[in-house]
Amino acid sequence: MKTFKIAIAGGGSTYTPGIAKALMLKREEFPVSEIRLYDINEERQNQVALITEKVVNEFDSNVKIAATTDPEKAFSGADFIFAQLRVGGNVMREKDEKIPFSHGIVGQETCGPGGMAYGLRTITPMIELCDFAEQYAPSAWIINYSNPAAIVAEALRKMRPNAQILNICDMPIGMMLRMAEILGCEKDEIEVDYFGLNHFGWFTDVYVKGESRMKELREYMSEHGLVTPEQSKDLQHSDADWIKAHRNVAKMLQLFPQYLPSSYLQYYLIPQTVVDQTDPAYTRANRVMDNREKNLFDSIKHLEQTGEFMEGFNVGVHGTFIVDVAMSLAFDRRERFLLIVENNGAIPNLPADAMVEIPAYVTSRGPEPIRMESIELFYKGLIEQQLASEKLLVEAALEGSYQKALQAFSLNKTFPSAEVAKTVLDELIEANKDYWPALA
Protein backbone atom coordinates (compact mmCIF):
# COMPACT_ATOMS: atom_id res chain seq x y z
CA MET A 1 0.00 0.00 0.00
CA LYS A 2 1.15 3.51 -0.79
CA THR A 3 2.52 5.51 2.13
CA PHE A 4 1.78 9.21 2.45
CA LYS A 5 3.84 12.28 3.23
CA ILE A 6 1.97 14.84 5.33
CA ALA A 7 3.01 18.47 5.81
CA ILE A 8 1.41 20.48 8.62
CA ALA A 9 1.49 24.24 8.02
CA GLY A 10 1.21 25.86 11.42
CA GLY A 11 3.34 23.12 12.93
CA GLY A 12 3.74 25.02 16.20
CA SER A 13 0.02 24.78 16.95
CA THR A 14 -1.22 23.15 20.15
CA TYR A 15 -3.35 20.96 17.86
CA THR A 16 -0.35 19.44 16.03
CA PRO A 17 0.33 16.52 18.45
CA GLY A 18 -3.36 15.61 18.32
CA ILE A 19 -3.32 15.52 14.51
CA ALA A 20 -0.19 13.34 14.63
CA LYS A 21 -1.88 10.93 17.03
CA ALA A 22 -5.01 10.85 14.85
CA LEU A 23 -2.78 9.88 11.90
CA MET A 24 -1.17 7.13 13.94
CA LEU A 25 -4.51 5.75 15.11
CA LYS A 26 -5.47 5.32 11.43
CA ARG A 27 -2.04 4.07 10.33
CA GLU A 28 -3.30 0.63 9.22
CA GLU A 29 -5.76 2.25 6.79
CA PHE A 30 -3.72 5.36 6.02
CA PRO A 31 0.01 4.60 6.34
CA VAL A 32 2.23 7.65 6.73
CA SER A 33 5.97 7.67 6.09
CA GLU A 34 6.71 11.33 6.94
CA ILE A 35 5.16 14.14 8.94
CA ARG A 36 6.76 17.52 8.29
CA LEU A 37 6.01 20.53 10.46
CA TYR A 38 6.25 24.00 8.92
CA ASP A 39 6.01 27.24 10.87
CA ILE A 40 7.61 30.69 10.85
CA ASN A 41 8.02 30.51 14.65
CA GLU A 42 11.01 28.16 14.77
CA GLU A 43 11.46 28.09 18.54
CA ARG A 44 7.84 27.23 19.29
CA GLN A 45 7.64 24.68 16.49
CA ASN A 46 10.79 22.89 17.67
CA GLN A 47 9.23 22.51 21.11
CA VAL A 48 5.99 21.13 19.68
CA ALA A 49 8.02 18.83 17.41
CA LEU A 50 9.60 17.18 20.48
CA ILE A 51 6.28 15.94 21.78
CA THR A 52 4.93 15.23 18.30
CA GLU A 53 7.87 12.92 17.61
CA LYS A 54 7.31 11.21 20.96
CA VAL A 55 3.63 10.67 20.12
CA VAL A 56 4.46 9.18 16.73
CA ASN A 57 7.25 6.94 18.07
CA GLU A 58 4.82 5.42 20.56
CA PHE A 59 3.08 3.91 17.51
CA ASP A 60 5.71 3.63 14.78
CA SER A 61 9.36 4.63 15.12
CA ASN A 62 9.84 4.34 11.35
CA VAL A 63 7.76 7.43 10.61
CA LYS A 64 10.07 10.35 9.94
CA ILE A 65 9.34 13.62 11.79
CA ALA A 66 10.89 16.88 10.60
CA ALA A 67 10.42 20.51 11.61
CA THR A 68 11.47 23.33 9.32
CA THR A 69 10.94 26.99 8.46
CA ASP A 70 11.91 26.29 4.82
CA PRO A 71 8.82 25.83 2.61
CA GLU A 72 10.75 23.82 0.01
CA LYS A 73 11.82 21.26 2.63
CA ALA A 74 8.37 21.21 4.16
CA PHE A 75 6.25 20.76 1.06
CA SER A 76 8.37 19.09 -1.65
CA GLY A 77 6.72 15.81 -2.59
CA ALA A 78 4.00 16.09 0.05
CA ASP A 79 0.74 14.27 -0.65
CA PHE A 80 -1.31 16.39 1.74
CA ILE A 81 -0.80 19.77 3.35
CA PHE A 82 -2.82 20.29 6.52
CA ALA A 83 -3.13 24.06 7.08
CA GLN A 84 -3.86 25.49 10.53
CA LEU A 85 -2.32 28.96 10.50
CA ARG A 86 -2.83 31.25 13.50
CA VAL A 87 -1.29 34.48 12.30
CA GLY A 88 -0.26 36.61 15.27
CA GLY A 89 -0.78 33.78 17.75
CA ASN A 90 -2.84 34.05 20.90
CA VAL A 91 -1.35 37.47 21.65
CA MET A 92 -3.26 38.92 18.70
CA ARG A 93 -6.28 36.73 19.42
CA GLU A 94 -6.52 38.39 22.83
CA LYS A 95 -6.56 41.83 21.15
CA ASP A 96 -9.18 40.63 18.65
CA GLU A 97 -11.42 39.78 21.60
CA LYS A 98 -10.69 42.58 24.06
CA ILE A 99 -10.75 45.60 21.74
CA PRO A 100 -14.37 44.98 20.64
CA PHE A 101 -15.45 44.11 24.20
CA SER A 102 -14.08 47.46 25.39
CA HIS A 103 -16.80 49.05 23.24
CA GLY A 104 -19.55 46.65 24.30
CA ILE A 105 -19.27 44.61 21.08
CA VAL A 106 -18.80 40.85 20.69
CA GLY A 107 -15.11 39.92 20.81
CA GLN A 108 -14.62 36.47 19.32
CA GLU A 109 -11.88 34.62 17.50
CA THR A 110 -13.68 33.99 14.19
CA CYS A 111 -16.92 36.02 14.31
CA GLY A 112 -17.63 39.74 14.29
CA PRO A 113 -14.79 42.29 14.38
CA GLY A 114 -12.34 39.84 15.99
CA GLY A 115 -12.90 37.36 13.18
CA MET A 116 -12.49 40.09 10.57
CA ALA A 117 -9.24 41.22 12.20
CA TYR A 118 -7.97 37.65 12.14
CA GLY A 119 -9.09 37.31 8.52
CA LEU A 120 -7.14 40.37 7.42
CA ARG A 121 -4.03 38.85 9.02
CA THR A 122 -4.53 35.45 7.39
CA ILE A 123 -5.43 36.15 3.75
CA THR A 124 -1.91 36.94 2.49
CA PRO A 125 -0.17 34.03 4.30
CA MET A 126 -2.79 31.60 2.93
CA ILE A 127 -2.27 32.87 -0.62
CA GLU A 128 1.48 32.39 -0.05
CA LEU A 129 0.84 28.83 1.16
CA CYS A 130 -1.11 28.04 -2.02
CA ASP A 131 1.83 29.34 -4.06
CA PHE A 132 4.28 27.18 -2.10
CA ALA A 133 2.08 24.15 -2.75
CA GLU A 134 1.91 24.87 -6.47
CA GLN A 135 5.68 25.27 -6.62
CA TYR A 136 6.80 22.36 -4.44
CA ALA A 137 3.85 19.91 -4.30
CA PRO A 138 1.60 20.53 -7.31
CA SER A 139 -0.34 17.28 -6.86
CA ALA A 140 -0.93 17.75 -3.12
CA TRP A 141 -4.30 18.53 -1.61
CA ILE A 142 -4.35 21.38 0.89
CA ILE A 143 -6.91 20.65 3.61
CA ASN A 144 -7.46 23.97 5.30
CA TYR A 145 -8.49 24.53 8.91
CA SER A 146 -7.13 28.09 9.05
CA ASN A 147 -9.66 30.52 10.49
CA PRO A 148 -11.75 32.46 9.88
CA ALA A 149 -12.57 29.77 7.32
CA ALA A 150 -15.33 31.69 5.49
CA ILE A 151 -13.09 34.71 4.84
CA VAL A 152 -10.08 32.58 3.92
CA ALA A 153 -12.18 30.45 1.55
CA GLU A 154 -13.57 33.56 -0.18
CA ALA A 155 -10.10 35.07 -0.59
CA LEU A 156 -8.68 31.88 -2.10
CA ARG A 157 -11.71 31.45 -4.38
CA LYS A 158 -11.02 34.92 -5.71
CA MET A 159 -7.22 34.92 -5.80
CA ARG A 160 -6.22 31.27 -6.28
CA PRO A 161 -9.23 29.67 -8.03
CA ASN A 162 -7.16 26.75 -9.35
CA ALA A 163 -5.61 25.80 -6.03
CA GLN A 164 -6.27 22.22 -4.99
CA ILE A 165 -7.72 23.11 -1.61
CA LEU A 166 -10.54 21.87 0.56
CA ASN A 167 -11.78 24.21 3.32
CA ILE A 168 -13.16 22.46 6.38
CA CYS A 169 -14.38 23.22 9.91
CA ASP A 170 -14.83 20.83 12.82
CA MET A 171 -17.55 22.89 14.53
CA PRO A 172 -20.49 20.97 12.97
CA ILE A 173 -18.77 17.68 13.87
CA GLY A 174 -18.52 18.77 17.49
CA MET A 175 -22.21 19.65 17.49
CA MET A 176 -23.08 16.29 15.93
CA LEU A 177 -21.15 14.49 18.67
CA ARG A 178 -23.30 16.19 21.29
CA MET A 179 -26.45 15.46 19.31
CA ALA A 180 -25.46 11.79 19.31
CA GLU A 181 -25.05 11.88 23.12
CA ILE A 182 -28.48 13.47 23.49
CA LEU A 183 -30.09 10.91 21.18
CA GLY A 184 -28.23 7.96 22.71
CA CYS A 185 -26.49 6.84 19.54
CA GLU A 186 -23.03 6.85 17.98
CA LYS A 187 -21.87 9.87 16.00
CA ASP A 188 -21.27 7.66 12.94
CA GLU A 189 -24.97 6.73 12.98
CA ILE A 190 -25.98 10.38 12.48
CA GLU A 191 -26.45 12.10 9.14
CA VAL A 192 -27.49 15.74 8.90
CA ASP A 193 -28.90 18.21 6.44
CA TYR A 194 -27.32 21.63 6.89
CA PHE A 195 -26.95 24.95 5.06
CA GLY A 196 -25.25 28.29 5.59
CA LEU A 197 -21.83 29.88 5.66
CA ASN A 198 -19.04 28.75 7.94
CA HIS A 199 -19.95 29.56 11.57
CA PHE A 200 -23.25 30.85 10.23
CA GLY A 201 -25.58 27.96 9.48
CA TRP A 202 -28.49 25.73 10.49
CA PHE A 203 -29.21 21.99 10.78
CA THR A 204 -32.49 21.39 8.95
CA ASP A 205 -32.80 17.69 9.80
CA VAL A 206 -30.95 15.05 11.81
CA TYR A 207 -31.24 11.35 10.96
CA VAL A 208 -30.21 8.30 12.95
CA LYS A 209 -29.94 5.19 10.78
CA GLY A 210 -32.11 6.94 8.19
CA GLU A 211 -34.87 7.97 10.61
CA SER A 212 -35.46 11.67 11.33
CA ARG A 213 -34.98 12.52 15.02
CA MET A 214 -35.39 16.26 14.47
CA LYS A 215 -38.58 16.66 16.51
CA GLU A 216 -37.09 14.92 19.55
CA LEU A 217 -33.82 16.82 19.28
CA ARG A 218 -35.56 20.19 18.84
CA GLU A 219 -37.65 19.61 21.96
CA TYR A 220 -34.57 18.75 24.04
CA MET A 221 -32.45 21.59 22.67
CA SER A 222 -35.23 24.16 23.11
CA GLU A 223 -34.94 23.53 26.84
CA HIS A 224 -31.31 22.53 27.38
CA GLY A 225 -29.51 23.73 24.27
CA LEU A 226 -26.55 21.52 23.43
CA VAL A 227 -25.71 20.77 27.05
CA THR A 228 -25.81 16.98 27.17
CA PRO A 229 -27.27 14.99 30.09
CA GLU A 230 -23.72 13.90 31.03
CA GLN A 231 -22.45 17.50 31.04
CA SER A 232 -25.39 18.53 33.22
CA LYS A 233 -24.21 16.13 35.93
CA ASP A 234 -20.76 17.73 36.18
CA LEU A 235 -20.85 21.34 34.98
CA GLN A 236 -17.98 22.22 37.33
CA HIS A 237 -15.47 20.33 35.17
CA SER A 238 -16.90 21.38 31.80
CA ASP A 239 -15.53 24.16 29.61
CA ALA A 240 -17.35 27.25 30.92
CA ASP A 241 -17.29 29.11 27.59
CA TRP A 242 -18.80 26.21 25.67
CA ILE A 243 -21.43 25.56 28.33
CA LYS A 244 -22.61 29.15 27.88
CA ALA A 245 -22.56 28.80 24.09
CA HIS A 246 -24.47 25.53 24.21
CA ARG A 247 -27.08 26.98 26.57
CA ASN A 248 -27.49 29.93 24.23
CA VAL A 249 -28.60 27.52 21.50
CA ALA A 250 -31.82 27.14 23.54
CA LYS A 251 -32.28 30.93 23.57
CA MET A 252 -31.95 31.06 19.78
CA LEU A 253 -34.33 28.14 19.31
CA GLN A 254 -36.94 29.83 21.46
CA LEU A 255 -36.78 32.81 19.08
CA PHE A 256 -36.52 30.85 15.82
CA PRO A 257 -37.62 27.21 16.35
CA GLN A 258 -37.65 25.98 12.75
CA TYR A 259 -34.03 24.78 12.45
CA LEU A 260 -31.19 23.96 14.87
CA PRO A 261 -28.70 26.86 14.82
CA SER A 262 -24.95 26.62 14.84
CA SER A 263 -23.76 27.65 18.28
CA TYR A 264 -21.73 30.42 16.58
CA LEU A 265 -24.94 32.14 15.49
CA GLN A 266 -25.20 33.42 19.07
CA TYR A 267 -22.71 36.15 18.14
CA TYR A 268 -25.05 37.46 15.43
CA LEU A 269 -28.56 36.70 16.68
CA ILE A 270 -28.14 37.45 20.41
CA PRO A 271 -24.91 39.49 20.61
CA GLN A 272 -25.92 41.51 23.66
CA THR A 273 -26.53 38.29 25.61
CA VAL A 274 -23.02 37.14 24.72
CA VAL A 275 -21.49 40.46 25.77
CA ASP A 276 -23.38 40.38 29.08
CA GLN A 277 -22.12 36.84 29.76
CA THR A 278 -18.46 37.67 29.16
CA ASP A 279 -15.77 39.07 31.44
CA PRO A 280 -14.02 41.58 29.14
CA ALA A 281 -10.86 41.33 31.26
CA TYR A 282 -10.63 37.53 30.91
CA THR A 283 -11.79 36.32 27.52
CA ARG A 284 -11.61 32.98 25.72
CA ALA A 285 -8.04 33.74 24.59
CA ASN A 286 -6.95 33.93 28.24
CA ARG A 287 -8.69 30.66 29.04
CA VAL A 288 -6.98 28.93 26.09
CA MET A 289 -3.55 30.24 27.11
CA ASP A 290 -4.09 29.25 30.75
CA ASN A 291 -5.37 25.77 29.94
CA ARG A 292 -4.76 24.12 26.55
CA GLU A 293 -1.58 26.09 25.83
CA LYS A 294 -0.20 25.73 29.35
CA ASN A 295 -0.97 22.00 29.54
CA LEU A 296 0.86 21.27 26.28
CA PHE A 297 3.96 23.30 27.10
CA ASP A 298 4.08 21.96 30.65
CA SER A 299 4.18 18.45 29.18
CA ILE A 300 6.92 19.52 26.74
CA LYS A 301 8.96 20.99 29.61
CA HIS A 302 8.49 17.79 31.61
CA LEU A 303 9.65 15.74 28.62
CA GLU A 304 12.74 17.91 28.16
CA GLN A 305 13.68 17.74 31.85
CA THR A 306 12.90 14.10 32.63
CA GLY A 307 12.50 12.25 29.34
CA GLU A 308 9.04 11.18 30.54
CA PHE A 309 6.08 11.64 28.23
CA MET A 310 2.87 13.13 29.63
CA GLU A 311 0.05 13.53 27.12
CA GLY A 312 -0.90 17.18 27.69
CA PHE A 313 -3.29 17.36 24.76
CA ASN A 314 -6.44 15.82 23.30
CA VAL A 315 -6.91 14.30 19.85
CA GLY A 316 -10.50 15.52 19.58
CA VAL A 317 -12.52 16.11 16.43
CA HIS A 318 -9.91 18.58 15.11
CA GLY A 319 -7.46 15.74 14.50
CA THR A 320 -9.84 12.95 13.51
CA PHE A 321 -11.88 15.05 11.05
CA ILE A 322 -8.94 16.26 8.97
CA VAL A 323 -7.56 12.72 8.75
CA ASP A 324 -10.96 11.32 7.72
CA VAL A 325 -11.22 13.91 4.94
CA ALA A 326 -7.69 13.11 3.74
CA MET A 327 -8.51 9.41 3.61
CA SER A 328 -11.65 10.03 1.57
CA LEU A 329 -9.58 12.07 -0.89
CA ALA A 330 -6.79 9.50 -0.98
CA PHE A 331 -8.97 6.44 -1.51
CA ASP A 332 -11.98 7.93 -3.35
CA ARG A 333 -14.28 6.89 -0.51
CA ARG A 334 -17.06 9.35 -1.36
CA GLU A 335 -17.73 9.93 2.33
CA ARG A 336 -20.28 12.58 3.24
CA PHE A 337 -19.02 15.61 5.18
CA LEU A 338 -20.04 19.19 5.77
CA LEU A 339 -17.61 21.29 3.73
CA ILE A 340 -17.07 24.88 2.63
CA VAL A 341 -17.52 24.88 -1.15
CA GLU A 342 -18.41 27.28 -3.95
CA ASN A 343 -22.19 27.31 -4.24
CA ASN A 344 -22.59 27.05 -8.02
CA GLY A 345 -26.33 26.43 -7.72
CA ALA A 346 -26.24 23.99 -4.81
CA ILE A 347 -28.53 26.42 -2.94
CA PRO A 348 -30.51 27.79 -5.90
CA ASN A 349 -31.39 31.21 -4.48
CA LEU A 350 -27.94 32.14 -3.18
CA PRO A 351 -25.18 33.64 -5.38
CA ALA A 352 -23.21 31.11 -7.43
CA ASP A 353 -19.89 32.45 -6.09
CA ALA A 354 -20.87 32.22 -2.40
CA MET A 355 -18.61 29.96 -0.35
CA VAL A 356 -21.32 27.98 1.44
CA GLU A 357 -21.09 25.25 4.09
CA ILE A 358 -23.22 22.28 3.00
CA PRO A 359 -23.05 18.47 2.77
CA ALA A 360 -20.77 17.11 0.05
CA TYR A 361 -19.25 13.80 -0.94
CA VAL A 362 -15.43 13.77 -0.93
CA THR A 363 -13.91 11.92 -3.88
CA SER A 364 -10.36 11.65 -5.18
CA ARG A 365 -11.22 14.53 -7.52
CA GLY A 366 -12.48 16.74 -4.72
CA PRO A 367 -15.91 17.57 -3.28
CA GLU A 368 -19.24 16.84 -4.94
CA PRO A 369 -21.74 19.18 -3.23
CA ILE A 370 -25.27 17.94 -2.60
CA ARG A 371 -27.99 19.98 -4.30
CA MET A 372 -30.48 21.57 -1.93
CA GLU A 373 -33.83 23.34 -2.10
CA SER A 374 -34.16 27.13 -2.08
CA ILE A 375 -33.99 28.59 1.40
CA GLU A 376 -36.58 30.85 3.00
CA LEU A 377 -36.33 34.63 2.98
CA PHE A 378 -35.29 35.05 6.64
CA TYR A 379 -32.26 32.75 6.30
CA LYS A 380 -31.45 34.05 2.83
CA GLY A 381 -31.43 37.63 4.12
CA LEU A 382 -29.17 36.83 7.07
CA ILE A 383 -26.76 34.85 4.89
CA GLU A 384 -26.56 37.48 2.15
CA GLN A 385 -25.82 40.22 4.69
CA GLN A 386 -23.02 38.16 6.25
CA LEU A 387 -21.76 37.12 2.81
CA ALA A 388 -21.60 40.76 1.70
CA SER A 389 -19.61 41.62 4.83
CA GLU A 390 -17.11 38.84 4.13
CA LYS A 391 -16.75 39.66 0.44
CA LEU A 392 -16.20 43.35 1.16
CA LEU A 393 -13.55 42.49 3.74
CA VAL A 394 -11.66 40.37 1.19
CA GLU A 395 -11.90 43.18 -1.36
CA ALA A 396 -10.62 45.62 1.28
CA ALA A 397 -7.58 43.42 1.89
CA LEU A 398 -6.81 42.93 -1.79
CA GLU A 399 -7.40 46.56 -2.79
CA GLY A 400 -6.07 48.21 0.39
CA SER A 401 -9.42 49.96 0.78
CA TYR A 402 -10.35 51.52 4.13
CA GLN A 403 -13.82 52.37 2.80
CA LYS A 404 -14.57 48.72 1.96
CA ALA A 405 -13.25 47.60 5.35
CA LEU A 406 -15.61 50.07 7.03
CA GLN A 407 -18.48 48.83 4.86
CA ALA A 408 -17.65 45.24 5.84
CA PHE A 409 -17.62 46.11 9.55
CA SER A 410 -20.82 48.17 9.28
CA LEU A 411 -22.71 45.31 7.61
CA ASN A 412 -21.77 42.84 10.34
CA LYS A 413 -24.67 42.12 12.69
CA THR A 414 -22.47 42.31 15.79
CA PHE A 415 -22.40 46.13 15.43
CA PRO A 416 -25.27 48.44 16.43
CA SER A 417 -24.14 51.28 14.13
CA ALA A 418 -21.58 52.38 11.56
CA GLU A 419 -20.16 54.86 14.11
CA VAL A 420 -19.26 52.04 16.51
CA ALA A 421 -17.96 49.96 13.61
CA LYS A 422 -15.59 52.79 12.65
CA THR A 423 -14.32 53.22 16.21
CA VAL A 424 -13.53 49.51 16.56
CA LEU A 425 -12.04 49.29 13.05
CA ASP A 426 -9.68 52.19 13.73
CA GLU A 427 -8.44 50.62 16.98
CA LEU A 428 -7.92 47.27 15.28
CA ILE A 429 -5.95 48.94 12.48
CA GLU A 430 -3.54 50.32 15.07
CA ALA A 431 -3.28 46.97 16.89
CA ASN A 432 -2.66 45.10 13.62
CA LYS A 433 -0.26 47.52 11.92
CA ASP A 434 2.43 44.82 11.72
CA TYR A 435 0.04 42.31 10.09
CA TRP A 436 -2.71 43.94 8.02
CA PRO A 437 -2.31 45.29 4.52
CA ALA A 438 -2.29 49.10 4.54
CA LEU A 439 -5.83 50.51 4.22
CA ALA A 440 -6.25 53.95 2.66
Question: Which residue, among 23, 25, 43, has the nearest Cα to 33 in the 3D structure?
Answer: 23
Fold observed for domain 4-167+288-308: Rossmann fold (3.40.50)
What pLDDT does residue 235 have? 66
What pLDDT does residue 20 have? 97
Distance of alpha carbon 133 from the chain centroid: 21
Question: If you average pLDDT over every residue of the chain, what do you get?
Answer: 96
Distance CA 351, CA 342 (A): 9
| Angle made by CA atoms 12, 299, 94, in degrees to the nearest 5 | 50
Domain range annotation of the chain: 4-167+288-308
Residues in CB range of 179: below 8 A, 6 or more apart: 190, 206, 217, 226
What pLDDT does residue 3 have? 97
310-349 residue pLDDT tens: 887 878 899 999 999 999 999 999 999 999 999 999 999 9
Question: Which residue, among 142, 147, 102, 438, has the nearest Cα to 283 in the 3D structure?
Answer: 102
Q: Which of 147-151, 249-253, 312-316 has the lowest mean pLDDT?
A: 312-316
102-120 residue pLDDT tens: 999 999 999 999 999 999 9
Q: How confident is the model at residue 309 (pLDDT cuts 50, 70, 90)?
A: confident
- Whether the model clears a pTM of 0.85, i.e. scores above it, the answer is yes
Residue 47: enclosing H or E segment and its boundaries?
Answer: helix 42-59
Q: How confident is the model at residue 206 (pLDDT cuts 50, 70, 90)?
A: very high
Reply yes or no on whether the pLDDT at 236 is more than 80: no
Residues in CB range of 78: below 8 A, 6 or more apart: 5, 6, 7, 36, 136, 137, 140
Reply yes or no on whether the pLDDT at 402 is more than 90: yes
Q: What is the 3-state secondary structure (H, E, C) of 212-239?
A: ECHHHHHHHHHHHCCCCHHHHHCHHHCC
Distance CA 364, CA 172 (A): 23
Q: How confident is the model at residue 237 (pLDDT cuts 50, 70, 90)?
A: low
What pLDDT does residue 230 have? 83
Whether 283 contacts 107, CB under 8 Å: yes
Residues in CB range of 190: below 8 A, 6 or more apart: 176, 179, 180, 183, 206, 207, 208
What pLDDT does residue 238 have? 73
As annotated, the active-site residues are: 170, 264
Distance CA 161, CA 376 (A): 30
To 10 degrees, what angle do helices 402-411 and 418-431 make?
A: 130
23-61 residue pLDDT tens: 999 999 999 999 999 999 999 999 999 999 999 999 999
| Angle made by CA atoms 78, 84, 87, in degrees to the nearest 5 | 125
